[in-house]
Amino acid sequence: MKIKTTEFYFLILLVSCFFSSYSQSEWELEKDALGIQVFTRRVSVSSIKEYKATTLIKTSLKSIVSKIIDGEHLKDWNYKTTKSNLLEKISDNEYLIYMYNDLPWPAKNRDHISTLKIDEISSSLTKISIISTPEKLLEKTGVIRVVNFSGFWLLEKTKLGIKVTQQMYGDPGGSLPIFIVNLMLVKAPFNTFKRLKEQLDN
């Protein structure tokens, strides 16, 4: 029993060290317009920043969840996304999604595959995890497959509507300059949220 207790505390120490090494700085507000706020912060493991976008949409929780998991129409509101598909409905709470981003020259186009997992935390709060799943589809010639990303949607029912938050970290791969990547971390989520609001706001 003593050995097991020692091993337990050693595990706790390792976990603590991991999270301290992945410590982040405070969020900085980068843009606040049209009821949309975009924040970024630095992470210790990369020169690429993490972003968080938030807004309030006058719609139902069910409507916005349906919008986010609708793989065939994600291209209609996600910034620079020209193709999107539902590859597989794994269960009622888990979906495999493909998205293709058409980027301006000289950047190469990107694609990525993600698993969306829905967690109904309560009747007024839903979290949708975004998990990189690159191995589910063969890579396409001339397109950079984005593999290193993770994040989530947090959808909270309020008296004024649904508070929508998306938090993401991702490395687009390839040879894009870091300053270009970090600039896109504001422009991309802002325009995505703008289109999402336009389609759902009642």
In a domain, 115, yes or no: yes
Query: Is 106 within a domain?
Result: yes
Position 86 in a domain: yes
Q: How confident is the model at residue 3 (pLDDT cuts 50, 70, 90)?
A: very low
CATH code, domain carrying 170: 3.30.530.20
Reported pTM? 0.85
* pLDDT value of position 140: 92
Please give the pLDDT value at position 23.
52
Average pLDDT value for residue range 22-47: 89
User: What local confidence, expressed as pLDDT, does residue 122 receive?
Assistant: 97
Q: What is the mean predicted confidence (pLDDT) over 171-195?
A: 88
pLDDT at 54: 99
Does a structural domain hold residue 4? Answer: no
Residue 12 lies in a domain: no
Q: What is the pLDDT of residue 150?
A: 96
Please determine, for residue 41, whether its predicted confidence score (pLDDT) is greater than 50. yes
Q: Which structural domain, as residue segments, surrounds residue 141?
A: 25-200
Average pLDDT over residues 6-30: 55
**pLDDT (mean) for 60-65:** 97
Burial of 164 (0-12, 13-18, 19+ CB in 10 A): buried
Model confidence at 153: pLDDT above 70: yes
Asked if the structure places residue 10 within a domain, the reply is: no
Question: Considering the domain boundaries, does residue 20 fall inside one?
Answer: no
Name the domain count of the chain. Answer: 1
170 lies in some domain: yes
Q: Highest-confidence range of 10-19, 63-72, 182-191, by mean pLDDT? A: 63-72
Q: Which residue has the higher pLDDT, 54 or 174?
A: 54
195 CB contacts (<8 Å, ≥6 apart)?
A: 76, 77, 78, 79
Q: pLDDT-based confidence at 8, cuts 50/70/90?
A: very low
Quick one: pLDDT at residue 24? Answer: 62
